[in-house]
Amino acid sequence: MKVSNNNKKNELDEFFKEGFNDFQVPPPSGLRKQDHDPIDDAFQQELGDLESTPSPEVWESVKTRIPLSLKVKRQLTWWTKVAAALILGLAATVGLKEYQRHQSDQMVSDPVNKEIIPTIPIESDFVYELQKEDHSDQKKSRRGKSARELLSDDEPLEEARISNIEPVAPLETISETAVSATENPLDDKQRASTKLGEIPLRTQNTADIESLTLTEEEIKAKQKKKAQENR
Amino acid sequence: MVTNLQLNGVFDMDIVQACIAGKPHAQEALYTHFSQTMFGICLRYASDYHSAEDILQEGFVKVFKNLDRFRGEGSFEGWLKRIFVNTSIEFYRKAVTKRKVVELDSVYDQGTESLALDNLATKDLLRIIQQLPTGYRTVFNLYGIEGYTHKEIAKMLDISEGTSKSQLARARESIKKMIRNLNEQ
């Protein structure tokens, strides 16, 4: 019985402890007087309502430090807000247009794009030439490809172009003879009298050069002439 | 509207609204109306006139910054006073970090019987309170003049209640000693 009574008491204590845990008893009215001194009263009486005029500089410096938001609020009436919104919208539109124009200009002036854009109109001819010169097995793979597709191939363009030309003579020689043939077209007599030695060649493969500069008939005629001379 | 604002001793809540709306005349009117009372508080908490002006300036900047937070519950003057007391406490904290509060143990001796407080003018009392070390002065102001409890002071100044009590006791003793010196002169 005693044990159960003790338990009940403890529970009750705990209950009250929890209930009054955050409860603060207000100090009795006379308590402050215990820690009170006549000096406090004297000072409170004299200095409690003390008033004094500060120097005018204080307001001047306070004025400069008043938050900008309080100053700006005064200026922002409803119509200034509308005007500001309109100006901002207009500026944004103009800015966007200008930006888009600048972007397109930049695309055209870009060296990579400059190279691609002019080649587009001649791509069909170029591809046609390649196809003409291609071998039969290559023809199949390259036919129908645009220049853009060819550029994107694994094989670089220059290599692709060169690989399609049969190496007859060194490139330098071919170009020289080609230039001389186009700039000063020879008539038959002149062409016949032209000696191979007169052309500045760096190769000994004269037969190949002849095959480029002379027609088949001219070569045959030349070979006949040579044979007669030998006899 | 703004130019017609007249305070005539009684503060008008419309002025607060005008200040929030950014009317310069209202802001100046608010300052003019309360600056003297608030400067009195600053003088009590500061060690000298210039420090009091600094507190006043800082306090008014705070007032204008937080003006829109005033909900109109309680008096506006009470709200202002709390701002200035808090600003003074901030100055106290700065002073405490700069130098340790001077301990004046030697002033623990006499009682209050022989003090002739009536002979002292407000100016003298102000001088006495300003001569107290920062910690003593702040606790004495908060407890003796403002009427805060030691618990509240401890919370405000971030010190223990015991420290608040001892600072108050030492402040009183210092004051008594200074009054005696003044009366002897």
Residue of B nearest to A32 (CA): B149
- At the top level of CATH, the class of B105-184 is mainly alpha
Please determine whether the domains at B13-91 and B105-184 fall in the same fold group of CATH. Answer: no
Q: What is the pLDDT of residue B110?
A: 40
Q: Where are the domains of chain B?
A: 13-91, 105-184
Q: What is the pLDDT of residue B168?
A: 92
Residue with the bigger pLDDT between B107 and A21: it is: A21
Contact at CB, B122 and A37, closer than 8 angstroms: no
Q: Where are the domains of chain A?
A: 75-109, 115-163, 171-223
Q: What is the pLDDT of residue A105?
A: 83
ipTM of the complex: 0.76
Helix spans in chain A (H): 2-19, 31-34, 38-47, 56-65, 68-75, 78-109, 111-119, 123-133, 136-142, 147-152, 157-163, 171-183, 188-193, 206-213, 216-230
Which one, of A157, A184, A173, A183, lies nearest residue A209 by Cα?
A173
Q: Map tokens 């007669």 to a residue.
A: A228
| DSSP 3-state percent helix, strand, coil across chain B (nearest 5) | 70, 0, 30
Q: What is the pLDDT of residue B58?
A: 92
Contact B29, B1 (CB under 8 A): no
Per-residue model confidence as pLDDT tens digits over B112-130: 444 556 667 788 888 899 9
Measured between beta carbons, the chain B residues lying within 8 angstroms of A70 are 19-20, 22, 27, 64, 67
Could you say which residues of chain A have pLDDT below 70? 1-9, 17-34, 69-77, 111-213
Q: What is the pLDDT of residue B59?
A: 93
Measured between beta carbons, the chain A residues lying within 8 angstroms of B143 are 40
Contact at CB, B39 and A52, closer than 8 angstroms: yes
Q: What is the pLDDT of residue B103?
A: 39
DSSP class of residue B146 equals I
- At the top level of CATH, the class of B13-91 is mainly alpha
Per-chain mean pLDDT for chain B: 80
Q: What is the C-alpha separation between A62 and B31, in angstroms, rounded? A: 9
